[in-house]
Amino acid sequence: VTEGATTGYGYGVLGDYKSLKTYSANGTYYLYDTTKPMSGVIETRTANYGSSLPGSYSVDSNNAFTSTSQGADVDAHYYAGTVYDYYYNTHGRNSYDNNGATIRSTVHYGSNYNNAFWNGAQMVYGDGDGSTFDPLSGAQDVVAHEITHAVIERTAGLRYQDQSGALNESMADVFGYFVEPEDFLLGEDVYTPNKSGDALRSLSNPDAYGQPSHMDDYYYTSSDNGGVHTNSGIPNKAAYLTIQSIGKTKAEKIYYRAMSVYLTPTSNFSAARSALLQATSDLYGTGSTYNSVASAWSQVGVN
Protein backbone atom coordinates (compact mmCIF):
# COMPACT_ATOMS: atom_id res chain seq x y z
CA VAL A 1 0.00 0.00 0.00
CA THR A 2 1.42 3.39 -0.87
CA GLU A 3 1.85 5.98 1.86
CA GLY A 4 2.29 9.63 1.01
CA ALA A 5 0.86 12.60 -0.83
CA THR A 6 -2.02 11.83 -3.19
CA THR A 7 -4.54 13.75 -5.27
CA GLY A 8 -8.20 13.10 -4.60
CA TYR A 9 -11.35 15.00 -5.43
CA GLY A 10 -14.67 16.00 -3.92
CA TYR A 11 -17.73 18.22 -4.19
CA GLY A 12 -17.84 21.51 -2.27
CA VAL A 13 -20.71 22.99 -0.32
CA LEU A 14 -22.26 24.26 -3.54
CA GLY A 15 -21.86 20.87 -5.25
CA ASP A 16 -18.89 21.99 -7.35
CA TYR A 17 -16.10 19.56 -8.32
CA LYS A 18 -12.71 20.23 -6.68
CA SER A 19 -9.38 18.48 -6.93
CA LEU A 20 -7.88 17.92 -3.47
CA LYS A 21 -4.35 17.49 -2.09
CA THR A 22 -4.74 14.47 0.19
CA TYR A 23 -2.52 11.99 2.02
CA SER A 24 -2.77 8.23 1.94
CA ALA A 25 -1.81 5.91 4.80
CA ASN A 26 -2.97 2.38 5.62
CA GLY A 27 -5.63 2.49 2.93
CA THR A 28 -7.24 5.65 4.34
CA TYR A 29 -7.18 9.06 2.64
CA TYR A 30 -6.78 12.21 4.74
CA LEU A 31 -7.46 15.89 4.00
CA TYR A 32 -3.82 16.57 4.70
CA ASP A 33 -1.87 18.64 2.16
CA THR A 34 1.91 18.27 2.35
CA THR A 35 2.60 19.90 -1.03
CA LYS A 36 3.06 23.53 0.02
CA PRO A 37 6.63 24.91 0.18
CA MET A 38 6.30 25.21 3.92
CA SER A 39 7.40 23.12 6.89
CA GLY A 40 3.78 22.85 8.04
CA VAL A 41 0.80 21.35 6.27
CA ILE A 42 -2.78 22.21 5.51
CA GLU A 43 -4.99 19.86 7.51
CA THR A 44 -8.74 19.66 7.80
CA ARG A 45 -10.65 17.98 10.60
CA THR A 46 -14.21 17.46 11.76
CA ALA A 47 -15.75 18.11 15.16
CA ASN A 48 -18.48 15.64 14.24
CA TYR A 49 -21.16 18.14 15.32
CA GLY A 50 -19.63 18.50 18.76
CA SER A 51 -17.57 21.35 20.17
CA SER A 52 -14.29 19.71 21.16
CA LEU A 53 -11.30 20.83 19.09
CA PRO A 54 -9.39 20.04 16.99
CA GLY A 55 -11.54 16.95 16.34
CA SER A 56 -10.57 14.02 14.15
CA TYR A 57 -9.04 14.07 10.68
CA SER A 58 -11.49 14.30 7.75
CA VAL A 59 -10.98 10.97 6.01
CA ASP A 60 -12.36 8.98 3.13
CA SER A 61 -11.97 5.36 2.10
CA ASN A 62 -11.47 5.96 -1.62
CA ASN A 63 -10.05 9.52 -1.96
CA ALA A 64 -13.40 10.74 -3.32
CA PHE A 65 -14.93 13.17 -0.84
CA THR A 66 -18.27 13.21 -2.60
CA SER A 67 -20.92 12.81 0.10
CA THR A 68 -23.07 15.84 0.91
CA SER A 69 -21.78 16.00 4.46
CA GLN A 70 -18.19 16.17 3.15
CA GLY A 71 -18.81 19.44 1.27
CA ALA A 72 -17.77 21.56 4.25
CA ASP A 73 -14.57 19.53 4.66
CA VAL A 74 -13.78 19.78 0.94
CA ASP A 75 -14.16 23.57 0.85
CA ALA A 76 -12.35 24.27 4.13
CA HIS A 77 -9.39 22.27 2.81
CA TYR A 78 -9.43 23.59 -0.75
CA TYR A 79 -9.94 27.26 0.18
CA ALA A 80 -7.30 27.17 2.92
CA GLY A 81 -4.92 26.05 0.15
CA THR A 82 -5.95 28.93 -2.11
CA VAL A 83 -5.48 31.45 0.73
CA TYR A 84 -2.04 30.00 1.48
CA ASP A 85 -1.22 30.38 -2.23
CA TYR A 86 -2.49 33.98 -2.27
CA TYR A 87 -0.25 35.11 0.61
CA TYR A 88 2.75 33.16 -0.71
CA ASN A 89 2.47 34.13 -4.40
CA THR A 90 1.34 37.75 -3.96
CA HIS A 91 3.16 38.78 -0.79
CA GLY A 92 5.88 36.14 -0.30
CA ARG A 93 4.35 35.20 3.04
CA ASN A 94 4.85 31.55 4.04
CA SER A 95 1.64 30.77 5.97
CA TYR A 96 0.11 33.07 8.58
CA ASP A 97 3.29 33.18 10.69
CA ASN A 98 5.57 33.60 7.67
CA ASN A 99 7.37 30.50 8.93
CA GLY A 100 5.36 27.65 7.46
CA ALA A 101 2.88 27.15 10.30
CA THR A 102 0.36 24.38 9.80
CA ILE A 103 -3.02 25.72 8.73
CA ARG A 104 -5.63 23.73 10.63
CA SER A 105 -9.40 23.89 10.07
CA THR A 106 -12.20 22.07 11.85
CA VAL A 107 -15.64 21.83 10.26
CA HIS A 108 -19.02 20.51 11.46
CA TYR A 109 -18.54 22.44 14.67
CA GLY A 110 -21.63 22.38 16.88
CA SER A 111 -25.17 21.88 15.68
CA ASN A 112 -26.48 24.18 12.95
CA TYR A 113 -23.91 26.71 14.15
CA ASN A 114 -24.35 29.94 12.20
CA ASN A 115 -20.81 31.27 12.50
CA ALA A 116 -17.08 30.65 12.09
CA PHE A 117 -13.98 31.85 13.91
CA TRP A 118 -10.20 31.81 14.34
CA ASN A 119 -9.57 30.76 17.96
CA GLY A 120 -5.93 31.84 18.10
CA ALA A 121 -4.73 28.44 16.93
CA GLN A 122 -7.04 27.23 14.17
CA MET A 123 -10.11 27.94 12.09
CA VAL A 124 -13.50 26.61 13.15
CA TYR A 125 -16.58 26.47 10.92
CA GLY A 126 -20.21 25.83 11.70
CA ASP A 127 -22.57 24.11 9.28
CA GLY A 128 -25.15 26.87 9.49
CA ASP A 129 -28.84 26.09 9.89
CA GLY A 130 -29.52 25.97 6.15
CA SER A 131 -31.57 29.14 6.36
CA THR A 132 -29.23 31.85 7.65
CA PHE A 133 -26.09 30.07 6.50
CA ASP A 134 -24.84 27.12 4.53
CA PRO A 135 -21.62 25.61 5.95
CA LEU A 136 -19.42 28.66 6.26
CA SER A 137 -16.26 27.16 4.75
CA GLY A 138 -18.20 27.19 1.47
CA ALA A 139 -17.23 30.86 1.02
CA GLN A 140 -13.65 31.54 -0.05
CA ASP A 141 -13.86 35.13 1.25
CA VAL A 142 -14.89 33.84 4.69
CA VAL A 143 -11.93 31.43 4.76
CA ALA A 144 -9.63 34.28 3.73
CA HIS A 145 -11.20 36.48 6.43
CA GLU A 146 -10.41 33.91 9.13
CA ILE A 147 -6.85 33.22 8.00
CA THR A 148 -6.24 36.98 7.80
CA HIS A 149 -7.14 37.21 11.50
CA ALA A 150 -4.22 34.84 12.07
CA VAL A 151 -1.94 36.99 9.89
CA ILE A 152 -3.02 40.11 11.80
CA GLU A 153 -2.23 38.37 15.11
CA ARG A 154 1.32 37.77 13.86
CA THR A 155 1.81 41.24 12.35
CA ALA A 156 -0.13 44.37 13.42
CA GLY A 157 -1.71 42.57 16.39
CA LEU A 158 -4.66 44.97 16.24
CA ARG A 159 -6.50 44.79 19.60
CA TYR A 160 -10.00 43.36 19.03
CA GLN A 161 -11.83 46.32 20.56
CA ASP A 162 -13.31 49.62 19.35
CA GLN A 163 -11.43 51.27 16.42
CA SER A 164 -8.43 48.92 16.41
CA GLY A 165 -10.89 46.03 16.50
CA ALA A 166 -12.95 47.46 13.65
CA LEU A 167 -9.69 47.86 11.73
CA ASN A 168 -8.87 44.21 12.46
CA GLU A 169 -12.28 43.27 11.09
CA SER A 170 -11.83 45.52 8.07
CA MET A 171 -8.42 44.10 7.15
CA ALA A 172 -9.95 40.62 7.32
CA ASP A 173 -12.81 41.67 5.03
CA VAL A 174 -10.48 43.54 2.65
CA PHE A 175 -8.16 40.54 2.23
CA GLY A 176 -11.28 38.46 1.77
CA TYR A 177 -11.87 40.63 -1.28
CA PHE A 178 -8.23 40.45 -2.44
CA VAL A 179 -8.43 36.64 -2.35
CA GLU A 180 -11.87 36.50 -3.94
CA PRO A 181 -12.16 39.69 -6.03
CA GLU A 182 -15.26 38.75 -8.01
CA ASP A 183 -17.44 41.11 -5.98
CA PHE A 184 -17.28 43.53 -3.07
CA LEU A 185 -19.60 41.34 -0.99
CA LEU A 186 -18.56 39.17 1.93
CA GLY A 187 -20.05 35.75 2.61
CA GLU A 188 -22.50 35.90 -0.30
CA ASP A 189 -21.82 32.26 -1.23
CA VAL A 190 -23.05 30.87 2.09
CA TYR A 191 -25.37 33.56 3.43
CA THR A 192 -29.13 32.93 3.20
CA PRO A 193 -28.97 30.03 0.73
CA ASN A 194 -32.64 30.51 -0.13
CA LYS A 195 -32.20 34.20 -1.01
CA SER A 196 -29.96 35.43 -3.82
CA GLY A 197 -28.16 38.74 -4.16
CA ASP A 198 -27.57 39.40 -0.47
CA ALA A 199 -24.50 39.02 1.74
CA LEU A 200 -23.21 39.44 5.24
CA ARG A 201 -21.43 42.72 4.41
CA SER A 202 -20.57 44.92 1.44
CA LEU A 203 -17.33 46.83 1.01
CA SER A 204 -18.84 49.08 -1.65
CA ASN A 205 -22.06 49.78 0.21
CA PRO A 206 -21.68 49.05 3.93
CA ASP A 207 -24.92 50.89 4.67
CA ALA A 208 -26.87 48.25 2.73
CA TYR A 209 -26.17 45.87 5.64
CA GLY A 210 -26.48 48.25 8.54
CA GLN A 211 -22.87 49.42 8.70
CA PRO A 212 -21.72 53.05 8.74
CA SER A 213 -19.56 54.26 5.86
CA HIS A 214 -18.60 57.61 7.46
CA MET A 215 -17.17 58.65 10.82
CA ASP A 216 -20.27 60.79 11.41
CA ASP A 217 -22.18 57.51 11.79
CA TYR A 218 -19.67 55.69 14.03
CA TYR A 219 -21.67 53.29 16.20
CA TYR A 220 -20.79 53.61 19.89
CA THR A 221 -21.76 50.41 21.68
CA SER A 222 -20.40 48.07 24.32
CA SER A 223 -21.52 44.95 22.44
CA ASP A 224 -19.46 43.08 19.88
CA ASN A 225 -16.22 44.46 21.34
CA GLY A 226 -17.39 47.99 20.64
CA GLY A 227 -19.19 47.14 17.41
CA VAL A 228 -16.17 45.79 15.53
CA HIS A 229 -18.40 44.07 12.92
CA THR A 230 -20.34 47.29 12.44
CA ASN A 231 -17.73 50.06 12.47
CA SER A 232 -15.55 48.07 10.05
CA GLY A 233 -17.87 49.60 7.44
CA ILE A 234 -15.92 52.87 7.63
CA PRO A 235 -12.44 51.47 6.78
CA ASN A 236 -14.10 49.00 4.43
CA LYS A 237 -15.58 51.88 2.42
CA ALA A 238 -12.18 53.62 2.36
CA ALA A 239 -10.65 50.41 1.02
CA TYR A 240 -13.34 50.17 -1.67
CA LEU A 241 -12.73 53.77 -2.77
CA THR A 242 -8.97 53.11 -2.82
CA ILE A 243 -9.33 49.94 -4.90
CA GLN A 244 -11.66 51.72 -7.34
CA SER A 245 -9.18 54.55 -7.88
CA ILE A 246 -5.78 52.80 -7.94
CA GLY A 247 -6.69 49.18 -8.75
CA LYS A 248 -6.33 45.90 -6.87
CA THR A 249 -2.66 45.25 -7.72
CA LYS A 250 -1.39 48.43 -6.08
CA ALA A 251 -3.99 48.39 -3.29
CA GLU A 252 -3.12 44.90 -2.06
CA LYS A 253 0.58 45.77 -1.87
CA ILE A 254 -0.17 48.93 0.09
CA TYR A 255 -2.54 47.13 2.48
CA TYR A 256 -0.14 44.24 3.05
CA ARG A 257 2.77 46.63 3.79
CA ALA A 258 0.64 48.73 6.16
CA MET A 259 -0.55 45.57 7.97
CA SER A 260 2.86 43.92 8.19
CA VAL A 261 5.10 46.95 8.77
CA TYR A 262 3.24 49.95 10.18
CA LEU A 263 0.04 49.06 12.05
CA THR A 264 0.28 48.34 15.79
CA PRO A 265 -2.10 46.82 18.38
CA THR A 266 -3.56 50.23 19.29
CA SER A 267 -3.80 51.73 15.79
CA ASN A 268 -7.08 53.60 15.30
CA PHE A 269 -8.65 54.73 12.00
CA SER A 270 -6.49 57.85 11.77
CA ALA A 271 -3.35 55.77 12.39
CA ALA A 272 -4.52 53.40 9.65
CA ARG A 273 -4.78 56.32 7.23
CA SER A 274 -1.21 57.31 8.15
CA ALA A 275 0.08 53.74 7.87
CA LEU A 276 -1.50 53.31 4.45
CA LEU A 277 -0.11 56.65 3.26
CA GLN A 278 3.36 55.74 4.51
CA ALA A 279 3.14 52.36 2.76
CA THR A 280 1.96 54.12 -0.41
CA SER A 281 4.85 56.58 -0.24
CA ASP A 282 7.33 53.71 0.26
CA LEU A 283 5.99 51.81 -2.74
CA TYR A 284 4.71 54.45 -5.16
CA GLY A 285 5.87 57.88 -3.99
CA THR A 286 3.64 60.82 -3.16
CA GLY A 287 1.91 61.41 -6.50
CA SER A 288 -1.55 60.47 -7.74
CA THR A 289 -1.65 57.09 -5.96
CA TYR A 290 -0.87 58.79 -2.65
CA ASN A 291 -3.53 61.43 -3.27
CA SER A 292 -6.10 58.73 -4.06
CA VAL A 293 -5.48 56.99 -0.75
CA ALA A 294 -5.71 60.28 1.16
CA SER A 295 -8.92 61.15 -0.68
CA ALA A 296 -10.53 57.80 0.15
CA TRP A 297 -10.04 58.35 3.88
CA SER A 298 -11.22 61.96 3.67
CA GLN A 299 -14.42 60.73 2.00
CA VAL A 300 -15.16 58.54 5.02
CA GLY A 301 -14.39 61.39 7.41
CA VAL A 302 -10.99 60.17 8.68
CA ASN A 303 -8.04 62.62 8.48
Ligand X SMILES: O=C(O)[C@H](CCc1ccccc1)CC1(C(=O)N[C@@H](Cc2c[nH]c3ccccc23)C(=O)O)CCCC1
For residue 79, the minimal CB distance to Ca ion (Å) is 12
DSSP notation for 222-291: SSHHHHHHHHTHHHHHHHHHHHHHH-HHHHHHHHHHIIIII--TT--HHHHHHHHHHHHHHHH-SSHHHH
Burial of 158 (0-12, 13-18, 19+ CB in 10 A): buried
Task: Between 41 and 142, name the residue whose CB sits nearer to Ca ion.
Answer: 142
Task: Between 80 and 246, name the residue whose CB sits nearer to ligand X.
Answer: 80
Binding to ligand X, residues 168-187 (CB under 6 A) = 169, 187
Binding to ligand X, residues 138-167 (CB under 6 A) = 142, 145-146, 149
By CB under 6 A, tell whether 55 contacts ligand X.
no
Residues 6+ away with beta carbon under 8 Å from 141: 173, 176, 177, 179, 180, 185, 186, 187, 188, 189
Q: Which residue is nearest to Zn ion (CB)?
A: 172
For residue 50, the minimal CB distance to Zn ion (Å) is 23
For residue 116, the minimal CB distance to ligand X (Å) is 5
Distance of CA 91 to the CA centre of its chain: 15
Q: Which amino acid is at 47?
A: A
By CB under 5 A, tell whether 146 contacts Ca ion.
no
Binding-site size, Ca ion (CB under 5 A):
4
By CB under 5 A, tell whether 185 contacts Ca ion.
yes
Residues marked active site are found at 146, 229
By CB under 6 A, tell whether 192 contacts ligand X.
no
Residues 13 and 24: beta-carbon distance below 8 Å: no
Residues 139 and 83: beta-carbon distance below 8 Å: no
Taking CB under 6 A as the rule, which mask of x and - marks residues 8-37 in contact with ligand X? ------------------------------
By CB under 5 A, tell whether 172 contacts Zn ion.
yes
By CB under 5 A, tell whether 141 contacts Ca ion.
yes
- How, if at all, do strands 103-107 and 42-46 pair? parallel
Binding to ligand X, residues 228-247 (CB under 6 A) = 229
CA distances from 164 to 18, 41, 235, 269, 284 (A): 37, 31, 11, 7, 26
For residue 84, the minimal CB distance to ligand X (Å) is 18
Positions touching Ca ion (CB under 5 A) are 141, 180, 183, 185
Positions touching ligand X (CB under 6 A) are 114-117, 142, 145-146, 149, 169, 187, 200, 224, 229
